[in-house]
Amino acid sequence: MEEDLKTERKGQLLAIKDLPTLPTVLDEVSKLVARPESTTEQVARLISMDQVLSAKVLKMVNSPIYGFPGRISSISHALMLLGFNVIRGIIVSTSVFEVMTKNMVGLWEHSIATALASSTIARACGLRDPDEYSVAGLLHDLGKVVATVQLPELKIAIESLVKEKDLTYLAAEKELLGFGHDRINAWLATHWKLPPNIKEGMDHHHSPQTAQLYPEMAAVVHLADFLARLYEFGSGGDDNVPFVQPDAFKILKIKPKDLEAICDTLGERFVEVSDLKFT
Amino acid sequence: MLLTPDAGLRAMLTTLWGPGEVEWTHYEHGRGAIEHLFTEPPDLLIVDNDLPDIKGLEVAAIVKSENVYRQLPIILAVSEAVVAESSWCGVEVDDLLITPSSPTRVKALIFLTLARASRSFDANPLTRLPGNSSIIQRIQEMMDRKEDFALAYADLDFFKSFNDKYGFSRGDEVLMMTARVIVTTIRSFTGVKSFVGHVGGDDYVFILPPDTVEEACKRVVASFDSIVPHFYDEEDRARGSIVSTDREGAIKTFPLMAISIAVVFNEGGRLTHYGQASQIATALKKKAKENKKSCYVLDSRGRNAVRENSD
């Protein structure tokens, strides 16, 4: 019975047709792509500020129609391959949330903060393609957005359970759904044929120690999520700073005190985006 | 060619175009018509579903089952009632003419069917870009009109060794990616006449006005070089090369794939034949190939120099 319910919910979640976003970035991007002199880099930088648009662009470029599923993990590469026509099409067909709740805005801000923290950590650790870590960081809570759209009544229940019992969002999801947003992420990434490194960052950000193929990706997003919460930039849906898996440091071959230098850089980068407002 | 016992339809079609514009060959039966179709294929076949001796759909199936005639566009003329009761699954006709219909509709339908057929006729089966005969036709037309244009030939270095190591399907991924990089780059130059074709394998062609082509080459090279490493396995990407066996069976190291572009300018009606352009391009290509990295070579105007990606 339990298993049936899970399969049914998985089906409901993956059936998502219309994934809405917040209007702020969407408006900006549509203005930018309407101008002929806009460059791919400008558009990529802006799309990288919106988890839903980024997910849509990656889903599109990795779809079998284009002929190279699971290969593209960077937004700028996706734009080079899709072109502005397709991007315009994606923007026009993207709707916005009718009700913009405080929680939703917080989640968008938290996602950007995690993206920034991910690329900062990746650079500090000397990992290649830091932009791809940024993408995984940006998308790490996408499962929460999809659950909100497809299972709205459960979302309300989760939020009240978080408040009532002072649980983490993940614990509340598990109590009510039987699985967390990390599992939803894994389903989405597989269903949308996202590259395996992005998938592992998304579905193992709470458990980097069990990541099989790209443990560095999972460890980076795990620490980035922690730092974003520590700085209280945006909100992941609860007030707890999550427990840090000591394995994350081992995987990245760094010591907890190395985070100090990372925090210094990150503080500066947060200032750069602090004027970005979703409300 | 028109294949129908319906005198009304025949009369209508013959009045749509003046004499000399379109010539119709008319048959009332399937028999003689099929032979004619096979010996002198027309540009278009309109076949009535209700022929006295054979079903229109059967005629269509006969034509479409032969690869040499497949590209012949077929319009099936049927009544509304037949359309409703038929299952169209697996039917090989290009469009339907619902009878009775108005002359303006029929004319539009024929135009669209012919245009569609010319688009898909020689398209590359992988990338669906226009193929060799469309490319030659386009270039020759522009030469005949004495238009100024730049013609670029692009191909990949070390594609064969990639294919040998990773297999054809991974190779096709790279070909699709390359096609997209070229198409999106060329399309980003709006308001100019442009064209992209796929000769076959790893050979592509694009046409742009002479003053935009260098910028296009730079962007294609930069995009290709930044994307292509992601089509290799982690280990090869980190090393920046692949180990594969060459034609003689010896183990060799090959660099990552690169794109080479040779550009021929046609200004002031300098070139008159497609052959001239491809000859110049072949010579330039050789020059570009001496460089193992992605690069482009521009012909004439004192720009005959190899440029690499500066990143």
Are residues A83 and A198 located together in one domain of the fold? no
Residues 6+ apart with CB under 8 A from B51: B3, B4, B5, B28, B29, B30, B59
Residue A70 is classified by DSSP as: T
User: What's the pLDDT band for B300 if we cut at 50, 70, 90?
Assistant: low
List all residues of chain B from 190 to 209 with a beta carbon under 8 Å from chain A: 190
How many degrees, rounded to 5, is the angle at CA B128 between CA B125 and CA B132? 80
Taking the CA of residue B162 and the nearest CA in chain A, the distance in Å comes to: 15
Assigned domain for A117 exists: yes
Q: In terms of DSSP bridges, do strands B26-27 and B2-3 run parallel, antiparallel, or are they unpaired?
A: parallel
> Closest Cα of chain A to B84: distance in Å?
31
CA distances from B167 to B162, B177, B198, B253 (A): 8, 16, 21, 17
B149-157 and B203-208 as β-strands: parallel, antiparallel, unpaired?
A: antiparallel
* Sign of the CA dihedral with A21 first, then A25, A28, and A32 last: negative
Q: Are strands B258-266 and B2-3 parallel, antiparallel or unpaired?
A: unpaired
Residues A122 and A198 both lie in one domain:
yes
Query: pLDDT band at B256, cuts 50/70/90?
Result: very high
A138 with A203, same domain: the answer is yes
User: If we measure between CA atoms, which residue out of B6, B15, B5, B273 comes closest to residue B151?
Assistant: B273
- Three-state DSSP class for B86? coil
Same domain for A128 and A258, yes or no, is yes
Residues of chain A with pLDDT under 50: none
Which residues sit opposite B244 in a β-bridge?
A: B252
Q: Is B126 close to A67, i.e. CB distance below 8 A?
A: yes
Give the pair of three-digit tokens for residue B76: 């099936």
Domain boundary, last residue among A98, A133, A162: A98
Q: How many domains does chain A have?
A: 2
Work out the pLDDT band at B308, boundaries 50, 70, 90: low
Q: Are residues A149 and A235 in the same domain?
A: yes
Percent of chain B with pLDDT over 70: 96
How far is the C-alpha of A63 from the C-alpha of A75, rounded, in Å? 15
Per residue in A48-94, pLDDT (tens digit) is: 999 999 999 999 999 998 999 999 999 999 999 999 888 988 888 88
AA identity, residue A278? F
Residues of B in contact with A127 (CB under 8 A): none
Identify all chain A residues contacting B194, using CB atoms and an 8 Å cutoff. none
Q: Strands B74-79, B95-99: parallel, antiparallel or unpaired by DSSP? A: parallel
Residue ending a domain, among A67, A98, A129, is A98
Give me the mean pLDDT over the B165-189 stretch.
95
Mean pLDDT score of chain B, rounded to an integer?
88
Domain-ending residue, one of A98, A131, A150: A98
The predicted structure's pLDDT at residue B311: 46
Identify the three-state secondary structure at position A177.
helix
B interface test, pick of A33, A62, A68 with most B CB neighbours within 10 Å: A68
B176–A68: do the CB atoms touch at under 8 Å?
A: yes
**Cβ pairs bridging A and B (under 8 Å):** 50
Question: Does A148 share its domain with A278?
Answer: yes
Examine residue A7 and state whether it is found in any structural domain, yes or no. no
| d(C-alpha B69, C-alpha B42), whole Å | 10
Q: What is the pLDDT of residue B305?
A: 53
Contacts of B5 (CB under 8 A, 6+ apart): B28, B48, B50, B51, B52
Higher pLDDT, B67 or A79: A79
Question: Can you spell out the DSSP letters for A13-68?
Answer: HHT-----B-HHHHHHHHHHHHSTT--HHHHHHHHTT-HHHHHHHHHHHTSGGGT-
On whether both A111 and A71 belong to a single domain, the answer is no
Same domain, A134 and A245: yes
Pair (A259, A189) in one structural domain: yes
Task: Write down the pLDDT at residue B303.
Answer: 47
Query: What's the Rg (C-alpha) of chain A?
Result: 18
Model confidence band, residue B302 (pLDDT cutoffs 50, 70, 90): very low
Q: State the pLDDT confidence band at B283, using cuts at 50, 70 and 90.
A: confident
Asked if residue A94 and residue A126 are part of one domain, the reply reads no
Q: How far is B238 from chain A (nearest CA, A)?
A: 9
Claim to verify: residue A44 and residue A93 sit in the same structural domain: yes
Instruction: Work out the average pLDDT over B158-183.
Output: 95
Domain span holding position A228: 101-279
Q: CB distance A83–B126 less than 8 Å? A: no
Residues A212 and A84 in one domain: no
Chain A CB contacts of B183 under 8 Å are: 83
| Nearest one of A51, A31, A55 to A43, comparing CA atoms | A31
The answer to whether residue A12 is domain-embedded is no
